[in-house]
Structure 1
Amino acid sequence: MQRVSEFAKAKGISRGRAYRLARSGVLPVRELNDGSIILEDAAMAWQPRHARPLSPRMAWLLLGMLDGEIPAGVRDAERSRLKGHVKGVREAENPAHVLAQKVSARAQLHVFFAHPEDAAEMRDDERIALSGVGAPGSGMMAGDVVEGYVAPSVIEKVKRDFLLHEQADGNVRLRVAEVREPGKAAIAADLADWGRAREMREANRIIHELLQEKC
């Protein structure tokens, strides 16, 4: 047996969604004498469907909407879908994780290794729009980590200039996209991509702040 709140946390969904699943009969439940419900052990076999990531365009529109920007030239149907995605982020048990999944196609990520001295120089390079760890408002010190966005037209030059070579656990994380200055939502998504507790905590802090501003 398991409480609905515990089930929601384990599955990464909101408690509201878990209760709706239980009350609709999707999850097997047992009703207690006081009217509350608990989930049968068989409920743990249920798995949430992972939606396909948004297109790069829609991903950036969603990030912009979370930052409080009013998207121009967006069709009514697209605006409605974007509001639905914002609602999904708001209701999630782990908003940063959900957002990162939705906008995972926003840019192609490349991970490299750079010497700490080179990393320090890279953070001052105007071709790199800093984001994620070490970005203003991220709540995290950069150390020898460099994370940011680089335009497709200069990524190869940046690699040559700093002698970068790809390494899965490297300290340089560059996303290839035309981004002049990442907003708070993009910084949160980039932090969440690390999948580590501290980065996820700061990503959720940023998103909660953004959602409070939208109230």
Structure 2
Amino acid sequence: MELTTREAAQRLGVNQSRVRALVAAGTLDARRVGPQWLIDADSVDRQATFTAAKATGRAMAPRVAWAAADLADGGDAPWLSAAERSRLRKRLRSASSIDVLRRWLSSRSATVTRYRVGDRDLDALLDSDDVVRTGVSAAAAYRLGLSTGGAADAYVTTDVAARLIRDFFLIESRTGNLTLRVVEHNLHLLTARAVDDQRVSTRLIVAADLADDRDTRTKSAGRDRLAVVLDEQKQGR
């Protein structure tokens, strides 16, 4: 579902110029159609949740967001300096809520696009080189009790996305069964875990993606797992 700038402003309780600023900053997902913006309703609702939770601080830089996820799963985020890792661990322990954590991690992908792909091709696509499962595609690996419902979710680079589009004849669709989250680095590969012979993203990344889902049960599973990881950080585990 898409909203006009006016409708988005009404949902957020702000003026239209503020909505346009959020679009320009990449906080709201939108596309230009003629003279106006059409704004993704899910991104508006997500921003409304952040605002209500007072989680309105800046998102982490992508390299820091992926480092946070790696550290939370016992990794050492070697692309950060020792001082940066120390500061990041303290920051994770200081997170006041899961929505603050979600806000910090909101920079984890450059773009998110949905495609339509044949059901029989999903497993082969997810097992392709340089594809990292996340969201519902990683739920089974982390024993979250969610079914995929015939959907798939993964992190890829721009080049890999182009290859998948070509090899699997992907058709862009706002109601598609495949979500590709494009990143501009290889940190999704450096931080990936091998679970049950599947290449999956870290718990924080998977949980944040689930928490952004429009399905209530999926969203709840993501928020619950974020709460578990956040509690671990506060306890110093």
Return the TM-score normalized by structure 1: 0.66
Of all paired residues, the percent bearing the same amino acid is 25
Q: Cα distance, 1:122 vs. partner?
A: 2.0
Q: In the TM superposition, what whole-angstrom CA distance separates every residue of 1:29-87 from its partner, at most 9, and x where no partner exists?
A: xxxxxxxxxxxxxxxxx883612211111111111222233344425366325522442
What root-mean-square deviation, in Å, do the aligned CA atoms of Structure 1 and Structure 2 show?
A: 2.5
Of residues 160, 166, 184, the one that matches 2:203 is 184
Question: TM-score, length-normalised on structure 2?
Answer: 0.60
Other structure's SS at 1:103 match: helix
Match of 1:80 in 2: 87
From 67, 70, 81, give the equivalent of 1:64: 70
2:145 alignment partner, one of 139, 149, 152: 139
For residues 167-197 of structure 1, give each alpha carbon's deviation from its aligned partner in whole angstroms, at most 9, with x where no partner exists: 2222111112322221111111111121432
* Alpha-carbon contact 1:53-1:102 (below 8 Å) kept: yes
- Separation of aligned partners in 2, 1:123 and 1:47: 35
Pick the structure with greater CA Rg.
1
Cα offset, 1:158, TM superposition: 0.5
Residues 77, 123 of structure 1: CA spacing in aligned structure 2 closer, same or farther, 3 A cutoff?
closer
Q: Does 1:116 align with 2:119?
A: yes
Give the corresponding residue for 2:227.
208
- Alignment deviations for residues 133-184 of structure 1 (CA, whole Å, 9 cap, x no partner): 0311143222311111113332101111111122222211111232222111
Q: Distance in 1 between matches of 2:151 and 2:128?
A: 14
Counterpart-to-counterpart distance in 2, 1:204 and 1:60: 18
Unaligned runs of 5+ residues in structure 2 are: 1-51, 193-200
Residues 206, 48 of structure 1: alpha-carbon distance in 2 compared, 3 angstrom cutoff: closer
Distance (whole Å) between structure 2 residues aligned to residue 150 and residue 77 of structure 1: 26
Aligned letter for 2:104?
Answer: K
